[in-house]
Amino acid sequence: MKTVVKILLLSLLFPVMFFSCDNNPSEPEPCELYTTGIYNNVMPGEVPEKFWPCMNTKDLVDAGSYNFNSLYQLDAGCCGLQSGYDLCKSNYSWYADLEGRDDAFQYLLAKYISIDTVNYDLNLYYWERGYKFYAYNLEVFLAQKAYLEDATVDQKITLINELFKKQGVRDAGYGDDIYEGPAFVMSRIMYYDGYGPLLDDMEQNILIKNLVELGHLRVYLHEEGLEAQLRVFSLANDYLNELKTK
């Protein structure tokens, strides 16, 4: 008798279960939902991070710019700008996503160039400027092998010229933080291109070696750091002239 009752109950239950599943379809995948246009007409800063991998590369760079606090990257690491980048990359999946995109470098470079060097306010410390990349944060991205190893000669020329321009703003006395950003990127451009004079200097000067490998210089702490930075600028100028002849 009990068996008959169980069979009757199950026969009544199955239609209900089937009906419930049929009327509660699973939620669409993030990219399926993103392509419906729900988030396509809003500022990248208003798009939830789970949809960032669904964006085109330009929008992904913009999303990071609107959302990502530069303080995480610049101060998170143990021993220089590179360690901060590596730590953030291990915690935010969009870093690896961006690195894997063939057109990422061109949009990072365009974002960097778009920063107004005339009205760029460096009087504020970076933690007071809000959730933006700004120059110093983008410089850490632009120093990565994933972006530099496939950069064209024209892109390298454009980037180095822009780095000198941004450094000129810093040298004008508008701020005293993150001095090594442009020198870090310049040294990495030369390093990944196997530029001999830089490689020789790395063997002879531990500060330049640390700058290339760690993004660590802290030129405002000692005279030797400033000399190393100026040496990198001099090398970059020579390297730039060589690029222009290619």
CA distances from 204 to 47, 145, 207 (A): 48, 23, 9
Residue 238, both tokens: 């020579």
d(CA 114, CA 135): 10
Q: In the prediction, which pLDDT does 176 show?
A: 45
Q: Domains of the chain: which residue ranges? A: 1-55, 68-243
* CA end-to-end span of the chain: 92
Question: What is the DSSP annotation of 167-217?
Answer: HHHIIIII--S-TTHHHHHHHHHHHHTT-HHHHHHHHH-HHHHHHHHH---
User: Which region among 13-17, 36-40, 50-54, 203-207 has the lowest average model confidence (pLDDT)?
Assistant: 13-17
Give helix 153-169 / helix 104-114 axis angle, nearest 10°: 30
Q: Contact 77/83 with Cβ under 8 angstroms?
A: yes
CA distances from 211 to 97, 151, 168, 182, 214 (A): 26, 21, 20, 11, 5
Q: What is the DSSP letter of 131?
A: S
Angle formed at CA 226 by CA 134 and CA 222, multiple of 5 degrees: 105
Q: Model confidence over 143-185: pLDDT tens digits?
A: 999 999 989 999 999 999 999 988 887 775 544 445 678 999 9
Q: What is the DSSP letter of 26?
A: P
Percentage of residues in the chain having pLDDT higher than 90 = 40
pLDDT surpasses 70 at 118? no
pLDDT surpasses 70 at 193? yes
Sign of CA dihedral 240, 83, 116, 172: negative
Whether the predicted model's global pTM rises above the 0.85 cut: no
Q: What is the DSSP letter of 152?
A: -
For 245, what's the count of Cα atoms within 13 Å in the CB-facing half-sphere? 5
